[in-house]
Structure 1
Amino acid sequence: MVTHEITPQRRDHGQEITCHAALDLTPHGPHFENSSSAVKLKVYDLPEEPQLLTSLYIEVGTRATARCRVAGVFPTAGEARFTLSFGGESLNFTVATSDDTATAQGEVWSPFPGQRELNCTVTMGPVSRSAGQSVLIYSLPKPVLEVTESRILVNSSVTVTCRSPEPEPLGVLLQLRDAKGVLVPSAPAQPPLQFQLTAGEEDDGREFTCEARPHSGIPAVKHTSARLTVLYGPRMDDSGCPREWIWKEGTEQNFSCLARGNPAPAVECTKDGVSISIGVQRQVRREDAGTYHCKASNPHGSASRDVTVQVEYFHILPLVLGLVGAAAAGAGLAAWGYMYYRSKRIRKYRLRQQQAKLVEQGKPAEQRSLNGAAQSPPDVEHSV
Structure 2
Amino acid sequence: MARGAARPALPALLALLWALLPGPGGTQTSVYPPEAIIPRGGSMSVNCSTSCDNYTLFGLETQLNKLEVNHGDNWKAYELSDVQENSSPICFTNCVTGGQSTASVSVTVFWVPERVELAPLPEWQPVDENFTLSCRVEGGAPRTNLMVVLLRGEEELSRQPVVGEPAEVTVTVQAGRDDHGASFSCRTELDLRPRGLELFVKNSTTRQLRTFVLPGTVPDLATVPIMEVGTEQPVNCTLSGLFPAAEANVHLALGDQRLYPTVIHEEDFLSASALVKANAEEEGTQQLTCVVMLGNLSRRTQEQVTIYSFPAPNLTLSQPEVSEGTNVIVECTAHGGAEVMLSGAPSGLPAPSAQLELNASAEDNRRSFTCSAALKVDGQVLRKNQTRELRVLYGPRLDERDCLGNWTWEEGSHQTLTCQAWGNPTPKLKCLRKGDQALLPIGDLRPVRREVAGTYLCEAKSSRGEITREVVVNVISTSAGGGSARRHRAAGTQVHGGSFPASSATSAQLFWVRLSPKFTTVQPGDSVWLNCSSSCPLPLNFSLSTPLRRGKSHSGPRWVSYQLLDVRAWSSDVRCFVTCAGEMLWAAARINTYKRPRSVILEPPIPEDGLYTLRCHVTHVFPVGFLVVTLRIGGRVIYSESLERFTSQDLANVTLTYTLRPRPRDFWQPVTCHARLTLNGQVVRNSSAPIMLTVFAWSPTSKTLASTSITAFVGILLVVGAIYLRKRLLMQSRG
TMscore range, shorter length? 0.5 to 0.7
Task: State the partner residue of 1:220.
Answer: 382
C-alpha separation between the residues in 2 aligned to 1:316 and 1:57?
A: 79
Task: State the partner residue of 2:326.
Answer: 156
C-alpha separation between the residues in 2 aligned to 1:315 and 1:83?
A: 93
What does 1:334-373 align with in structure 2 at a 5 Å threshold? none
Distance 1:247 1:128, change over 3 A: closer
Task: State the partner residue of 1:348.
Answer: none
Richer in helix (by share): 1
Task: Give yes or no for the alignment of 1:307 onto 2:471.
Answer: yes
C-alpha separation between the residues in 2 aligned to 1:20 and 1:118?
A: 52
Distance 1:50 1:202, change over 3 A: same
Shift of 1:100: 2.0
Please tell me whether the aligned partners of residues 58 and 135 of structure 1 are also in contact (alpha carbons under 8 angstroms): yes
Task: State the partner residue of 1:172.
Answer: 338
Task: State the partner residue of 1:57.
Answer: 226
The one-letter code sitting in structure 2 at the alignment partner of 1:267 is L
Shift of 1:144: 0.2
Distance 1:41 1:286, change over 3 A: closer
What does 1:259-270 align with in structure 2 at a 5 Å threshold? 259-270=421-432
Distance 1:7 1:173, change over 3 A: farther
Shift of 1:275: 4.7
Distance 1:5 1:210, change over 3 A: farther
What does 1:1-384 align with in structure 2 at a 5 Å threshold? 1=168, 8=175, 10=177, 42-47=210-215, 48-75=217-244, 77-109=245-277, 110-112=279-281, 113-164=283-334, 166=335, 169=336, 171-177=337-343, 183-187=347-351, 191-217=352-378, 218-248=380-410, 256-271=418-433, 272=435, 274-279=437-442, 281=445, 286-313=450-477
C-alpha separation between the residues in 1 aligned to 2:209 and 2:230?
A: 49
The one-letter code sitting in structure 1 at the alignment partner of 2:296 is P
Question: How far does the alpha carbon of each residue in 1:14-43 deviate from its partner, in whole angstroms, 9 at most, with x for none?
Answer: 77766688999xxxxxx9999877766543
Please tell me whether the aligned partners of residues 174 and 185 of structure 1 are also in contact (alpha carbons under 8 angstroms): no
Distance 1:241 1:81, change over 3 A: same
C-alpha separation between the residues in 1 aligned to 2:464 and 2:201?
A: 117
C-alpha separation between the residues in 2 aligned to 1:234 and 1:197?
A: 22
Structure number with greater CO (CA < 8 Å, separation at least 6) is 1
Distance 1:176 1:284, change over 3 A: closer
Distance 1:22 1:296, change over 3 A: same
The one-letter code sitting in structure 2 at the alignment partner of 1:274 is Q
Distance 1:210 1:14, change over 3 A: same
Distance 1:301 1:129, change over 3 A: same
Shift of 1:161: 0.9
Please tell me whether the aligned partners of residues 328 and 359 of structure 2 are also in contact (alpha carbons under 8 angstroms): yes
The one-letter code sitting in structure 2 at the alignment partner of 1:213 is A
Shift of 1:313: 4.4
The one-letter code sitting in structure 1 at the alignment partner of 2:333 is R
Shift of 1:102: 1.1
Please tell me whether the aligned partners of residues 176 and 185 of structure 1 are also in contact (alpha carbons under 8 angstroms): no
The one-letter code sitting in structure 2 at the alignment partner of 1:297 is K
Task: State the partner residue of 1:336.
Answer: none
Distance 1:87 1:279, change over 3 A: same
Please tell me whether the aligned partners of residues 145 and 161 of structure 1 are also in contact (alpha carbons under 8 angstroms): yes
Compare 266-275 and 5-14 and name the one that shifted more.
5-14
Compare 251-260 and 102-111 and name the one that shifted more.
251-260
Please state whether the residue corresponding to 2:246 is helix, strand or coil. Answer: helix
Shift of 1:216: 3.7
Unaligned runs of 5+ in 2: 1-167, 192-198, 483-735
C-alpha separation between the residues in 2 aligned to 1:173 and 1:253?
A: 53
Please state whether the residue corresponding to 1:221 is helix, strand or coil. Answer: strand
Please state whether the residue corresponding to 2:304 is helix, strand or coil. Answer: strand
Distance 1:223 1:41, change over 3 A: same
C-alpha separation between the residues in 2 aligned to 1:219 and 1:103?
A: 32
Please tell me whether the aligned partners of residues 179 and 211 of structure 2 are also in contact (alpha carbons under 8 angstroms): yes
Please tell me whether the aligned partners of residues 184 and 193 of structure 1 are also in contact (alpha carbons under 8 angstroms): no
The one-letter code sitting in structure 2 at the alignment partner of 1:49 is V
Please tell me whether the aligned partners of residues 234 and 298 of structure 1 are also in contact (alpha carbons under 8 angstroms): yes
C-alpha separation between the residues in 2 aligned to 1:156 and 1:233?
A: 14
C-alpha separation between the residues in 1 aligned to 2:454 and 2:201?
A: 130
Please state whether the residue corresponding to 2:302 is helix, strand or coil. Answer: strand
Richer in strand (by share): 2
The one-letter code sitting in structure 1 at the alignment partner of 2:426 is A
C-alpha separation between the residues in 1 aligned to 2:481 and 2:175?
A: 117
Please state whether the residue corresponding to 2:403 is helix, strand or coil. Answer: coil
Distance 1:69 1:37, change over 3 A: same
TM-score, normalising length from structure 2? 0.36
Please tell me whether the aligned partners of residues 252 and 259 of structure 2 are also in contact (alpha carbons under 8 angstroms): yes
C-alpha separation between the residues in 1 aligned to 2:478 and 2:306?
A: 84
TM-score, normalising length from structure 1? 0.65
Unaligned runs of 5+ in 1: 25-30, 319-384
The one-letter code sitting in structure 1 at the alignment partner of 2:428 is A
Shift of 1:4: 5.5
Please tell me whether the aligned partners of residues 245 and 310 of structure 1 are also in contact (alpha carbons under 8 angstroms): yes
Please state whether the residue corresponding to 1:202 is helix, strand or coil. Answer: helix
